Amino acid sequence: MKVGQVVGTVVSTFNIPLLEEHRLLLCDIHDIDGEPEGYTICIDVVDAGMGEAVLILDEGNSARQILGIDTGAIRAVIVGVVDELAIDGELKVV
Amino acid sequence: MKVGQVVGTVVSTFNIPLLEEHRLLLCDIHDIDGEPEGYTICIDVVDAGMGEAVLILDEGNSARQILGIDTGAIRAVIVGVVDELAIDGELKVV
Amino acid sequence: MKVGQVVGTVVSTFNIPLLEEHRLLLCDIHDIDGEPEGYTICIDVVDAGMGEAVLILDEGNSARQILGIDTGAIRAVIVGVVDELAIDGELKVV
Amino acid sequence: MKVGQVVGTVVSTFNIPLLEEHRLLLCDIHDIDGEPEGYTICIDVVDAGMGEAVLILDEGNSARQILGIDTGAIRAVIVGVVDELAIDGELKVV
Amino acid sequence: MKVGQVVGTVVSTFNIPLLEEHRLLLCDIHDIDGEPEGYTICIDVVDAGMGEAVLILDEGNSARQILGIDTGAIRAVIVGVVDELAIDGELKVV
């Protein structure tokens, strides 16, 4: 898992039901210093807000299991909002 | 998922039936600023047009599930045409 | 597997039971010279301490098998504490 | 899938039957401009010739399905010879 | 698969039986010119010696199949010792 931040939203025309039922959020993926090193478009299952620090899990099988489905076109999911992140004893996110 | 853009087509001689039944499109993969950071060759299931902004899902199991097949030689799929992409409240694609 | 070092902790609000039962550690991933080249957030199953050199396995299916579960939202796991690491006959970690 | 080019051959002593039955080819992986950006060692199922432009699929489950096997130690496969590749309307490979 | 070279050994305390039964080798992963571009820690099934050129397969499902197990915490495996590697007709490893 990586730490990221919700920075945008995506609206798309699908013909895949699963993707129409969930909100798609564009998230920066952060490096260890909290700087963006890339992005991914995630399905959100924790109702993360714009700008919030989040935990991103980027593995298809995990994603399907979180949604309680056996099959489905999905890979990256926001699994949690970060309440506290401490590196070398120093708080980075509160 | 990543945002990308359809930039080319590929014609190839296969001896794999699945790959002969679908159109292969070459897509730029975009970074957060909309600049290409790589490419992938995708199967298209949404009839994306040349130059269109698309959502690309690069996971084999997802790809097989979108096509409704249990097995098949496939990894990246165009899953949607991007209608709207907003980053930090600013519209990037309309 | 890669060699890494435990450098931080993460506290997050989940609605995914599995992730609430395990300690999440933020680990630097080391290059061959022992310098950080990235990080990942791992589930810890060996009670690794802050600052310890660890072996990190980053594959969802392995992770689930270590935890003895068939399904679960998980990808990276600390699988061992490194006792000794020798490169070209020279000890790097003791 | 990525576009690549067959540039070499590998002979190795295995104790894994599957790998002994197939030719291993070393392929450059090309970027969008046709320049090498890395390589991979592939199993060849289309009898690609030295120097030919090929399509490379790098996913274990796909690879096993192409070979018609349920299990097997394999990841990257040459799935086709590229007959034509057009980017922005310009032919790159004929 | 990638070409690599055995450069080190790792001794670790696990509570995972599989990892205790196999030798762990630290291998440089080589680029097309034979220069290291990273490393991985592999399970060795071919009794590779220190300094030998090897073929590394980095996919969990393949690794489990090589070991003849259905489940297990494993991802990268040394699958062969390289006897001969020719690029553009020039021998690189003998």
Helix (H, G, I), strand (E, B) or coil at E65: helix
Task: Report the 10 Å Cβ neighbour count for C58.
Answer: 18
Q: Residue C94 pLDDT more than 60? A: no
Confidence class for position A74, pLDDT limits 50, 70, 90:
confident
In this structure, chain C runs to a length of: 94
> What is the model's pLDDT at position B59?
78
Q: Residue A88 pLDDT more than 80? A: yes
Chains A and D touch (3+ CB pairs under 8 A): no
Confidence class for position E93, pLDDT limits 50, 70, 90:
low
Decide: E64 and E74 in contact? Cβ < 8 Å. yes
Selecting from B1, B65, B81 the residue whose C-beta is nearest the C-beta of A13 gives B81
> What is the model's pLDDT at position B72?
66
What tens digit of pLDDT does each residue of C33-62 get? Answer: 999 999 999 988 888 999 999 999 887 777
Q: pTM of the prediction?
A: 0.84
D13 with E85: Cβ contact below 8 A: no
Q: Which residues of chain B have pLDDT under 50?
A: none
pLDDT more than 90, % of chain A? 44
When pLDDT is averaged across residues E29-40 and rounded to a whole number, the result is 93
Q: Residue A68 pLDDT more than 80? A: no
> What is the model's pLDDT at position B70?
66
Decide: D37 and D56 in contact? Cβ < 8 Å. no
- State which residue of chain D sits closest to E60, comparing Cα positions: D60
Confidence class for position C85, pLDDT limits 50, 70, 90:
very high
Give E55-58 contacts, CB < 8 A, sequence gap 24+: E55/D10, E55/D12, E55/D41, E55/E1, E55/E2, E55/E3, E55/E4, E55/E79, E55/E80, E55/E81, E55/E82, E56/E1, E56/E2, E56/E3, E56/E4, E56/E27, E56/E29, E57/D73, E57/D74, E57/D75, E57/E1, E58/D75, E58/E1, E58/E2
Buried b / exposed e over B32-56, threshold 16 CB at 10 Å, is beeeeeebbbbbbbbebeeebbbbb
Averaged pLDDT of chain A: 85
D90, D58, D78, D91: which is closest to D6 by C-alpha? D78
pLDDT more than 90, % of chain D? 44
Is C71 exposed, middle or buried, given 0-12, 13-18 or 19+ CB atoms closer than 10 A? middle
Q: Residue D4 pLDDT more than 70? A: yes
Helix (H, G, I), strand (E, B) or coil at A3: strand
Neighbours of chain D (3+ CB pairs under 8 A): B, E
B30 to chain A, closest Cα gap in Å:
10
When pLDDT is averaged across residues E82-89 and rounded to a whole number, the result is 90
CA-to-CA separations, E66 to B7, C17, D45, E45, E79, in angstroms, rounded: 40, 33, 21, 8, 8
In degrees rounded to 5, what are phi and psi of residue B27?
Answer: -125, 130
Q: Which of A24-28, B82-86, C24-28, E13-17 has the lowest mean pLDDT?
A: E13-17
When pLDDT is averaged across residues E59-70 and rounded to a whole number, the result is 72
Q: Residue E6 pLDDT more than 90? A: yes
- State which residue of chain D sits closest to B51, comparing Cα positions: D88
Q: Look up residue E75 and give its two tokens.
A: 């991802």
Averaged pLDDT of chain C: 85
Cβ-Cβ contacts under 8 Å for D28 (sequence gap 6 or more)? D4, D5, D7, D36, D38, D39, E32
Q: Look up residue A51 and give its two tokens.
A: 């700008």
C39 with A31: Cβ contact below 8 A: yes
When pLDDT is averaged across residues E9-21 and rounded to a whole number, the result is 78
What tens digit of pLDDT does each residue of D17-49 get? Answer: 677 778 889 999 999 999 999 999 998 888 899
- State which residue of chain D sits closest to B17, comparing Cα positions: D66
> What is the model's pLDDT at position D2?
92
DSSP category for residue A48: P
Confidence class for position C70, pLDDT limits 50, 70, 90:
low
B33, B23, B30, B25: which is closest to B67 by C-alpha? B23
> What is the model's pLDDT at position D15?
64
Distance CA D44, CA D49 (A): 10
> What is the model's pLDDT at position A89?
83
D18, D38, C87, D8: which is closest to E80 by C-alpha? D18
pLDDT more than 70, % of chain E? 88
B85 Ramachandran zone, left/alpha/beta (phi>0; psi -120 to 50): beta
Selecting from A2, A61, A79 the residue whose C-beta is nearest the C-beta of C14 gives A79
In degrees rounded to 5, what are phi and psi of residue C66?
Answer: -65, -40
Task: Report the 10 Å Cβ neighbour count for D58.
Answer: 18
B22, E9, C71: which is closest to A59 by C-alpha? C71
What tens digit of pLDDT does each residue of A10-44 get? Answer: 988 876 766 777 888 999 999 999 999 999 999 88
Size of interface D-E (CB pairs under 8 A): 81
Confidence class for position E72, pLDDT limits 50, 70, 90:
low
* Residues of chain E neighbouring D14 (CB-CB closer than 8 A): 46, 79-80
